[in-house]
Structure 1
Amino acid sequence: MVIYMDLEPIWQQFMRNLTLNKGIKSAYWRKIAGIPFLYINITPELSQLNLEAIIKKCSVAAIKGNRLHSDTIFVRKDDMLLVYRHRFYVPQEKMFCCGNLCADCTRLKR
């Protein structure tokens, strides 16, 4: 059984929070070959390191209350346009006890 989670509301909240920052002129995301890319146009005052901290903060705010993680990887920079591969995903970990007495059993996590 595959459980599908709609990530569209997460992306909408993430982009809304991201564009509220004063160092970001514009931001949008696009899927290319199934991989989500984040395009951010910044002001000259905002450094790449500060931008990545903003992306992390906005990601955490967007996924709060959900069992999701985010991953951001820098791809390229063209003047003031920065491109990142950014995704939200469900962690790949056991969510139930299968009864096989595994060393990483969910019953042993407390």
Structure 2
Amino acid sequence: MIDLFYTQLTAALANRDGIDRIDWREFAGHRFLYVTSSLAHRELITVILQDAEALVKGTRIRCQCNHIRTEEQRSVFRFRFLVPEEKMFCCGNQCEDCTLHRQQ
């Protein structure tokens, strides 16, 4: 399911003016976003975060984007969508942190 967010983010960024190429690579379990763009560095980060936040609006998922390096017009970011680690449903094992015990 989370892969759908990465696919949608890629499509959203591909439709932006000033962004020429988008690639995803995975190293040591982390996803890296490679972007070739004529946009200024700050503007590029703003565009990425705006599109990502628009995708997760109304969900409990958050996004995190860390700049790694820039070489000429190619920038590399460690990007990830973060899913909450708390329990979302009752598993029936009578756990201490059961969702049924939460105050609404």
2:78 maps to which residue?
Answer: 85
1:60 pairs with 2:44 = no
1: CA distance, partners of 2:12 / 2:34: 15
State how many pairs are aligned.
97
2:4 maps to which residue?
Answer: 9
2: CA distance, partners of 1:33 / 1:13: 23
C-alpha RMSD of the superposition = 2.1
1:39 pairs with 2:34 = yes
TM-score (norm 1): 0.76
Identity among equivalent pairs (%): 31
1:21 pairs with 2:16 = yes
2: CA distance, partners of 1:81 / 1:69: 25
Superposition deviation, residue 28 in structure 1: 1.3
Show structure 2 runs of 5+ residues with no match. 90-94
CA contact (8 A) 1:70 1:88 kept: yes
Superposition deviation, residue 8 in structure 1: 1.2
Q: Quick one: which amino acid aligns to residue 7 of structure 2?
A: Q
* Structure 1 stretches of at least 4 aligned residues deviating more than 4 Å after TM superposition: 93-96
